[in-house]
Structure 1
Amino acid sequence: MSETTIEKTYLSVPFEQKDEAKEAGALWDKSAKAWFAKGPDVPPALRKFLPMNEADRSLEDPRSAFRDFLRENGADLTGLPVMDGKWHRIGLAGDGKEQNASYRAFLDGVPNGQFKNFKGDEILKWQGTGPELSAPQKQKMIAEAAQTREVREKERADEQQAAAKRAFGIWANLKTWATPDNCPYLGRKQVRGFGVKLTDDGRMVVPLRDDANRIWSLQFVGDDKNYLKQGRKEGLFHTIDPNKQLEKSRDAGPKLTVIVGEGYATGADVHAATNLPTVIAFDGDNLVSTAKAIRAKYLQANILIAADDDHHLPLKSPPLPNKGLKCAQRAAEAVGGKVLAPSFTPEEKKRGLTDWNDLKQARGQDGLLTALRESFTAMQREQQQARGKGLEREREMTL
């Protein structure tokens, strides 16, 4: 087992012995659906329930079989999959750090699972060839999976805390604020530096903060974009709000509007055009958790998602989903917000334009303002149409 100090040691407790385990101090984890003992030191009366002491009578280990299925279909998986019925993101072989797939698997009845490669629309299905698991076998695997997850999450939390300390030290020692004159990236994108710093080699540094303003990690932007190793990203963001509207208007209710976008250049441009507080989520995968963090802090605010339009992805072979629009729509749905999507001409699409900064550089600042107004008008029109359809359905139900 890992040397990481764990908070829970999971147990394989048969249903008919649950009262005995509870009497001996075992606790129930509703999320993991398993019993556990606090900490790594298991009381003597509970040691017989440790998974390692449970005889394995399975003819086929469904975890190994499902792992082989995932690998055969392109998944990059080294350990055993978690079979808890929940979707888990996973990488594809050859995709580096990208997680372009997900899986879920069940131990109920005959073990079975599903695999979704985001580069295609088909969901592949797997079913174990062994017999249905007995209750003790199933409970043993649930306990082992919960223990593995407990150790991984604790290790990841420790790594993220260490990265946060490194990030704070690096940020504090950077003395130069990034501007279009000293930072090649800002000069190339034609945007201002809002709360970002500069490394000695000219890269822009963007802090990743939580809703309490604590720095957890850093993004380094030059020719490429990189993050501090083992740093946290989920639910973290960078805020562009030089006039401190968020601080002044926290209790403004629906009068407060906050924009959430993916990249720094998009956020800087949208803020400059609207003068509204703008939050950078760093990528599409982080839009939902970032939007939720903003909603939790500003309960009644209007939240607009400044989307990227990855129109080139559906044209690939095999076709991929338009990730920018899809992630923006999910974020908007999660917080009751609306999407501001750029609209490109066929010629602009051929040139590879995908975000609001691309649009600004192609059409100028006035063109950006016009496009934002058009997108906002289209959003309101769709909202009114949706209300109209809802009223029609209500009238039909009353007839």
Structure 2
Amino acid sequence: MDRIQEISPALADAQPALMAKEDARAAGYAHRLAIAKRFGERVEAGDAVFISGRTVSMGMPYTVSAGERRPIMGFNRWMLLQVMQDRGWSDSRFFTSQQISASGWSLRDNAQPVVLQFVNATDGTGTALAVPEVKRFAVFNAVHVEGVPAYEPAPKLSSKSLEAAMVAADFEPGTEILEALAAWVDTQYRELGGQDGQADQALAQALAMSAVLSEVDWQDAPGTAAQSALQRHVARWSSAEWVRDTVALIEADPSAFFDAVRVSELVASQVLIQTRVAHLELRTETDIQTARQEAVSTTLPQAEQFPEGQAVNEAKMELSQSGLAQTGSDRQAAKGITHSARVEAMFAEREAVLAVPFADKDRAKELGAVWYKPQMVWFVPKGLDVATFKEWDPRDNCLGKTAAEQEVIDSFRAAMKDMDLDVPDDIKADGKWHNVRTFSKKGPNKSGAYLLDLQGGRDGTPIGAINDKYTGESQSWRFDGPLLTPEQRARMRAEAVRRAELADRAVQRAQAVAAEHAAEIVAQGQPAAGHGYVRKKGIAAEGLVQVSGKVLLGYEEFIGENGKSAIREDQNYLIVPMRNAAGEIRAVQAINEDGTVKSFMRGAQKKGTMTVLGAPSLDALCAHAVASPDQAARAALFVEGFATGASVRQPTGLPVIVCFDAGNLEAVAAEASRKWPDNIVPIMAVDNDQFHVERALGYLAKDLGVNPNSQRGSMVEVLSGKYSSRMVSLGDAVADGEWHQAPKGRYCMSLEREHDSTEVRSISIEAVTQEGQRPVRLSFGNRGVEAGRAALDAFAGPAKEGEQEQGTTSRAVMLVPEFKSLQGRPTDWNDLAGSEGAQSVSRQVMSALGIPQQREVRRVVQSPARVVQHTSGAMER
């Protein structure tokens, strides 16, 4: 066994006693820390695989599942690479004994297993273990497997592709391609949230560059420049200073190694994705397939025999493309020029591109059109009359543009249906959000939403997003059909811009009308103190009025596009004014007596609107703090809903900015940060939407039939507050980033964990319910906390003088409610006030401001799920 992946008997014997003394989280990390220290030893010895430069000639380890390559990720990847280097294995495939047996293969007599590790939180009956235990399993390299197919290394990307990707990313490589790659990696490292320490960044750079180097074919690099640059990097990674700093980093904080592995994977993935895109664009010679006859038996004089009107020009083009019109010496010189190269040169000098339906391809070919596969397009060669191809010219004929655009919309429509949304006949492709009904919620609703942008992202490919606000499911979308022609893409971009401008003007007009109607509604309101929702929530009705449903139905903004409305004429509705920063009413929110209906005005402004409790407006609050600092409040709180805001204002007396939901909280915080006074602490008192694991399991249960209540499942840790976490069983769901069969389809579930922690931050699911269907991609996370993090970033602002070296910290504080019991799945501050009283709200808020409180004993959250104690800095200032 190689010493990297193997735990010594002495350490194994000592582990149970050690685990018993540590809490569950420390136990789960024990084996990881040992591995980090072993890698530290290999760095110190100078033979760690990621500093040796040998990954250039190695392939990244992978296994094969359902006929597809599945890369082995995380620290297990580097363990296997280390073993491959030490044992001289060139085959990158690894299999478990179960895979080998199921495939009808067998192990050779000299088979040497490599041991990988994971944490198991339950025993054989599914009962949670008091202390999670480390499990190990063996994999075998394909060189030790009898009957396995011959190894075929994955094709590598050309060094020219990497250079092209660098140019696109504004990192011009020149002659120093690896130096430019290092700079690109460092930039990606910072953008993806890597640690600020120099040693942290240097370690992640070595890991990321080693991963990228293994995917690139350096044999096509000119001269010895790349090899020399690689030797310089290896020398840098082997220098006494680099080794000393890296070893000291791992010894001081072994988890820094795993953080570097995590961030380096993200960095390498970003670099390689862009390199693959560039690689596809450069594969002209091997990918071009001509749609024309390659051999032309005629000669130029034979053109005289053609029917009148058919083309000497065409004959010349034929002869030019085939090379038959050249002189003998020319033909001899052109022997090495491939047909694909000639077509590429012809495409560069084309007269126009064409939108040729498949049924017309033979006729277009006869007229002289040429097929250029890299762009999946027909084109008119230089010298031919474009008018001959008028019927296929997308510039003069709307057929090409309309067909391409409709194909995009049809593809997006199918994705909406997969998300169980009610797809409208006329999908608005203007890059704006539009609400629709979701079938996941009974009765009329607008809980679904979609966005489609034909102009697309950086490369012009149409993109979109689909949300189900009732289930919390969301999906990003990108058109994956055939590439559009340059002209089609230009037409689509122009059409998208035109539509966006028209939509913007229409939105502005609708918002102006809605603002007038909102002011009229507020003016008709009566005092709201006795409204049912106010009584139910136990809150004050500060700044609110109530009106009848009959009043609201007199305004078109409360009637849906289908003519229906959730508003009932015989009910009274609480009216929450939605104001801009200056205090002008832009819209209202209407809430019924029991809180089951919370309606916004259709077509009205929502982004950036708010209700301020304790001040006339946001501008007034900020101005008062500057003009009268001695009278200013010590802090102000940003919250999502009105009931939440009233629940924190009542016991604290602090001003509160109600933002209505998590997404708008980000927008309001961004605007407030530009004018916020230094003498008020902004507190993001966000909702604690901690049940994202349960929502993900609910989706798998409903749509794929995966049992979430099985006692056989593994356990994952979830933050339930700043001072507590809990363990949640995944039931029969498997979250390993691999595809798994379910009763109603297949799924792949992956977990993203909190920085330097085991807690699950978000869950990503890809699912297929029907064979041949494109996978549905969903994500589940703590939306309140994510909004709070974005708000903290908004308040961070530029570094002040003297802060450059230490970095910029946010002026804001994020605070989530912490519950003694999770019965009923509480999430917000009103839930806390209802279950534990206003004093608990005041205590938690004042504690965030540093106001002394009676020392609080750490507590264990009581919930149906088994829990562990935990202290985290993930939600601190």
Do both share a fold (TM > 0.5)? yes
Residue 295 and residue 172 in structure 1: after superposition, are their counterparts in 2 closer, same or farther (change >3 A)? same
1:244-303 CA-to-partner distances (Å, cap 9, x unmatched) read 754521457898632110111111121222222110011112111111222233254532
Q: Distance in 2 between matches of 1:104 and 1:229?
A: 21
Count of aligned positions: 324
**Is this contact kept in 2: 1:261–1:267, CA < 8 A?**
yes
* One-letter amino acid of the structure 2 residue matched with residue 371 of structure 1: Q
Residue 373 and residue 382 in structure 1: after superposition, are their counterparts in 2 closer, same or farther (change >3 A)? farther
Q: Which is greater in Rg?
A: 2
Q: Which of residues 241, 263, 270 is equivalent to 2:641?
A: 263
Match of 1:74 in 2: 416
Q: Which runs of 5+ in 1 are unaligned?
A: 1-51, 387-399
Match of 1:237 in 2: 610
Percent identical among aligned pairs is 20
**Is this contact kept in 2: 1:258–1:303, CA < 8 A?**
yes
Q: Which of residues 176, 187, 190 is equivalent to 2:535?
A: 187
**Is this contact kept in 2: 1:310–1:354, CA < 8 A?**
yes
Q: Which of residues 399, 407, 410 is equivalent to 1:65?
A: 407
**Is this contact kept in 2: 1:250–1:298, CA < 8 A?**
no
Superposed, 1:178-327 pairs within 5 Å as: 178-179=528-529, 182-200=530-548, 201-222=571-592, 223=594, 224-241=597-614, 246-250=622-626, 257-298=635-676, 300=678, 301-316=680-695, 317=697, 318=699, 320-327=780-787
**Is this contact kept in 2: 1:258–1:278, CA < 8 A?**
yes
**1:129 and 2:479 are equivalent in the alignment:** no
Shift of 1:221: 1.6
**Is this contact kept in 2: 1:218–1:227, CA < 8 A?**
yes
* One-letter amino acid of the structure 1 residue matched with residue 407 of structure 2: A
**Is this contact kept in 1: 2:574–2:590, CA < 8 A?**
yes
**Is this contact kept in 1: 2:673–2:794, CA < 8 A?**
no
Q: Distance in 2 between matches of 1:366 and 1:107?
A: 49
* One-letter amino acid of the structure 2 residue matched with residue 55 of structure 1: N
Shift of 1:156: 1.5
1:28-83 CA-to-partner distances (Å, cap 9, x unmatched) read xxxxxxxxxxxxxxxxxxxxxxxx97434738844322222222122646546659
**1:166 and 2:517 are equivalent in the alignment:** yes
Superposed, 1:1-16 pairs within 5 Å as: none
Q: Distance in 1 between matches of 2:457 and 2:602?
A: 35
Q: TM-score, normalised by structure 2?
A: 0.33
**1:154 and 2:505 are equivalent in the alignment:** yes
Q: TM-score, normalised by structure 1?
A: 0.69
Q: Distance in 1 between matches of 2:674 and 2:658?
A: 16
Match of 1:177 in 2: 527
Q: Distance in 1 between matches of 2:528 and 2:670?
A: 29
Q: Distance in 2 between matches of 1:123 and 1:109?
A: 16
Shift of 1:361: 0.9
1:137-194 CA-to-partner distances (Å, cap 9, x unmatched) read 33222111111111111111111111111111121222x3322xx1211111111121
CA RMSD of aligned residues (A): 3.6
* One-letter amino acid of the structure 2 residue matched with residue 98 of structure 1: S
Superposed, 1:12-31 pairs within 5 Å as: none
Q: Give the secondary structure class of the aligned counterpart of 1:207.
A: strand
**Is this contact kept in 2: 1:240–1:277, CA < 8 A?**
yes
Q: Distance in 2 between matches of 1:141 and 1:281?
A: 36
Shift of 1:103: 5.6
**1:366 and 2:839 are equivalent in the alignment:** yes
Shift of 1:209: 0.5
**Is this contact kept in 2: 1:107–1:138, CA < 8 A?**
no
Shift of 1:239: 0.4
Match of 1:342 in 2: 817
Q: Give the secondary structure class of the aligned counterpart of 1:151.
A: helix
Q: Which runs of 5+ in 2 are unaligned?
A: 1-393, 418-422, 440-444, 549-570, 700-762, 764-779, 797-811, 851-857, 859-871
Q: Distance in 2 between matches of 1:312 and 1:384?
A: 17
Match of 1:97 in 2: 446
Q: Distance in 1 between matches of 2:412 and 2:875?
A: 45
Match of 1:10 in 2: none
**1:328 and 2:788 are equivalent in the alignment:** yes
Q: Give the secondary structure class of the aligned counterpart of 2:540.
A: coil
Q: Distance in 1 between matches of 2:535 and 2:692?
A: 28
**1:357 and 2:830 are equivalent in the alignment:** yes
Q: Distance in 2 between matches of 1:236 and 1:304?
A: 18
**Is this contact kept in 1: 2:544–2:574, CA < 8 A?**
yes
**Is this contact kept in 1: 2:606–2:664, CA < 8 A?**
yes
Moved more, 232-241 or 331-340: 331-340
Q: Give the secondary structure class of the aligned counterpart of 1:205.
A: strand
**Is this contact kept in 1: 2:639–2:658, CA < 8 A?**
yes
Residue 287 and residue 367 in structure 1: after superposition, are their counterparts in 2 closer, same or farther (change >3 A)? same
**Is this contact kept in 1: 2:651–2:841, CA < 8 A?**
yes
Shift of 1:349: 2.1
Q: Distance in 2 between matches of 1:205 and 1:120?
A: 29
Match of 1:16 in 2: none
Q: Distance in 1 between matches of 2:635 and 2:457?
A: 46
**Is this contact kept in 1: 2:514–2:604, CA < 8 A?**
yes
**Is this contact kept in 1: 2:401–2:488, CA < 8 A?**
no
Moved more, 149-158 or 238-247: 238-247
Q: Give the secondary structure class of the aligned counterpart of 1:73.
A: helix
**Is this contact kept in 1: 2:460–2:489, CA < 8 A?**
no
Residue 210 and residue 121 in structure 1: after superposition, are their counterparts in 2 closer, same or farther (change >3 A)? closer
Residue 78 and residue 344 in structure 1: after superposition, are their counterparts in 2 closer, same or farther (change >3 A)? farther
Moved more, 255-264 or 356-365: 255-264
Residue 108 and residue 186 in structure 1: after superposition, are their counterparts in 2 closer, same or farther (change >3 A)? closer
Moved more, 208-217 or 291-300: 291-300
Shift of 1:327: 2.1
* One-letter amino acid of the structure 2 residue matched with residue 139 of structure 1: A
Q: Distance in 1 between matches of 2:599 and 2:436?
A: 20
Shift of 1:241: 0.8
Q: Distance in 2 between matches of 1:341 and 1:216?
A: 29
* One-letter amino acid of the structure 2 residue matched with residue 303 of structure 1: P
